Amino acid sequence: MHYGWLPVEDVIEALKNRPEMQHVIITGRHAPEGLVEFADLVTEMNVVKHPYDAGIKAQPGWNGMNISELVDQTIAAIGPLDAVAMAAAEARQGMLTKPPGSLGRLESLSVQLAGITGQPIPTITGKAVIVAAGDHGVAAEGVSAYPAEVTPQMVFNFLAGGAAINALARQAGADIVVIDAGVAVDLDPQPGLTIAKPTRRADAGANVIAGGDMGIGNTTPSAAITAVVTGADVATVTGRGTGVDDAALAAKIETIQRALDTNQPDGNDGLDVLTKVGGLEIGVLAGVMLGASARNCAVIVDGFISGAAALIAWRLCPAAAARFIGGHCSFRKAPVIRTVFAPLLVALSFLTLLPVGLRSARDVEISRSRGWYPVVGLLYGLMLVLLVLALQEALGIFPWSLLTAALLVTALAILNRFLHLDGLMDFCDAMWGGHTVERRLEIMRDSRVGSFAVAGGVCVLLVKFGALSSGLLWSSAGLSALLFFPMVSRWTMTLLLTVFPYGRQQGIGTAFASGSRPWLATGIAFLTVGAVAWFMLGLSGLIVLLVASVSALLLGVWASRRLGGGLTGDCYGAANEISEAVSLTLLVPLVESSLVEVGYGSGIAYGFPWLVGWTH
């Protein structure tokens, strides 16, 4: 019962009213007074490491094996993935008629499955969802919006085939096994309910196993496990679970912290964590994951509670984690890797060729990524400045040379995989080569390049080349301008994404249209680029920002009218390219007239004089 979760008095009261069929095992450093008289077995953690070491025998179906032996035997059977099969799977992908990486995460999953199954072309022989159900005494602390009675009600729903998991499993062609891991009511034997080992599904041919759970209050021990194993703060990994209010959330966090302080689980010892702050169904799921891994099955880890079980299994056997596949990124707080910075990774993935390792993104992350576009632009500017400095220091090529200007224009296009330039060229072909809305949208989908595309692309590239080679980089203020103009152009993309609707029924732009609170991300982006404009270039920076924004809005109005009321991805790329040309054109006379000196930044050389050796 993990009395660390509850006051001792509440535990004693529960023990007095327990059914006769329930036996009590007390584990801990020191059993509290009043509890021992109810116990069938008492072990102390300072005497034995885990309760199963005291000689507790397993249930029928485990061949009478001591649990400790069973765990050790299972872990010993888990080895590394099949490297030969994985290499063959990767080699096969290189022979397929498709661009490398075009299938996203499916490619890495196929290689992982090859390593799990030992087959270069893996075969799914069967699928099963193991749903473990158990009650939690901590539910009495008000950590859930639902009473504990909901747990058995949902179990009966699983068995009747009426729950969401039943519908999803039927759609996927997967079997469901429901395990009574400690539900506090007497569940009469029914078809589909078992206490036998669920890994028999693997023995029967299933090689993809997913873990599911049911237990009111189980996000509380899951948060405790996550905090202990990852070292994260309790408040960071504790969410609202079933939707509790602020007061209940605060009480939930306090309850978890009290349990951790009382029990002091060792985050490096999975069984110590499980026995002190875990839950029965979490323990079952951890065992399922280890057993499935020992049988070379892929394990789908889906949701917060399954994630907590996976952490336990990982601590017991790190090699097992190679067989785990994340089903989705939960909206709960525990997946701390994917927090506020996920939209930044999306922005970097979309706008640069940097290998950020992002294979997929949720719609909300795509929508919020617009707020990071100016930051990505600043990164562009920094790389351009570093290129200028490297050319001078390593090759003696002056910043104001024609070669430097040409290399800067080329680098700018390469850094975004020519994506924006391609958008500009498609935009030009469509706007001047199509006479109807349908035809313009069709041209934008066509990969062929027409004369309008060539003319538009050449014109914009010439303007940028001319600006960069006309004395812009003769002073340190020019380096500030070089840092700044990519920010402005990426800001205009954010602006158009927010102001104008997406012009197609399908496409990546639909994720932006479906995002919530777009003006919040847009406002953050505007404040970011505005602050940098004032700091680096003063009033001149704000003028450039204003002119570029107005120009982009006018372009958006004109394009949306010709495209039936919305914009497409090519329009955003065109806006970026045109805004770069406009910004550079404005910055040349401003820098040459020294108007940028009013900025607090006064050129980056004022803050970083060691960067620039040629300024005058």
Which range, 141-150, 354-363, 433-442, has the best average confidence (pLDDT)? Answer: 433-442
For the ranges 95-109, 180-194, 283-297, 541-555, the lowest mean pLDDT is seen at 180-194
Nearest C-alpha neighbor of 315 from the set 284, 257, 274: 274
Question: What is the predicted pLDDT for the residue at 599?
Answer: 47
Q: What are 96-110's pLDDT values in tens digits?
A: 877 777 777 788 889
**Distance (Å, whole) CA 567 – CA 509:** 9
CB 251 within 8 A of CB 142: yes
More confident residue, 394 or 462: 462
Q: Is 357 a residue whose pLDDT tops 70?
A: no
**Distance (Å, whole) CA 366 – CA 581:** 27
Cα-based torsion angle of the residue sequence 537, 542, 547, 551 in order, rounded to the nearest 10 degrees: 100
Number of other residues whose CB lies within 10 A of the CB of residue 135? 24
Q: What are 420-429's pLDDT values in tens digits?
A: 999 999 999 9
Task: Map tokens 């009600």 to a residue.
Answer: 153
Which range, 214-218, 244-248, 349-353, 458-462, has the best average confidence (pLDDT)? Answer: 458-462
Task: Map tokens 């948060």 to a residue.
Answer: 223
Q: What are 227-276's pLDDT values in tens digits?
A: 999 888 888 888 777 677 778 888 888 888 888 888 888 888 888 898 88
Position 336 confidence tier, pLDDT thresholds 50, 70, 90: very low
Question: What is the predicted pLDDT for the residue at 69?
Answer: 77
User: How big is the CA angle at 257 (ends 253 and 258), to the nearest 5 degrees?
Assistant: 115
**What domains, with CATH codes, occur in the chain?**
1-55 (no CATH), 124-326 (3.40.50.10210), 371-611 (no CATH)
Question: What is the predicted pLDDT for the residue at 493?
Answer: 95
Question: What is the predicted pLDDT for the residue at 495?
Answer: 95
- Provide the token pair at 341: 């910075």
Q: Is 311 a residue whose pLDDT tops 90?
A: yes
Mean pLDDT across the stretch 84-97?
A: 88
Task: Map tokens 């509670």 to a residue.
Answer: 305
Q: Is 95 a residue whose pLDDT tops 70?
A: yes
* Residues whose CB is less than 8 angstroms from the CB of residue 532 and which lie 6 or more positions away in sequence, other chains included: 374, 378, 484, 487, 541
Question: What is the predicted pLDDT for the residue at 259?
Answer: 86
Question: What is the predicted pLDDT for the residue at 360?
Answer: 58
Q: What are 155-176's pLDDT values in tens digits?
A: 888 888 888 888 998 998 988 8
Mean pLDDT across the stretch 379-383?
A: 93
Which range, 92-106, 468-482, 517-531, 543-557, has the best average confidence (pLDDT)? Answer: 543-557
Question: What is the predicted pLDDT for the residue at 356?
Answer: 74
Q: Is 333 a residue whose pLDDT tops 60?
A: no
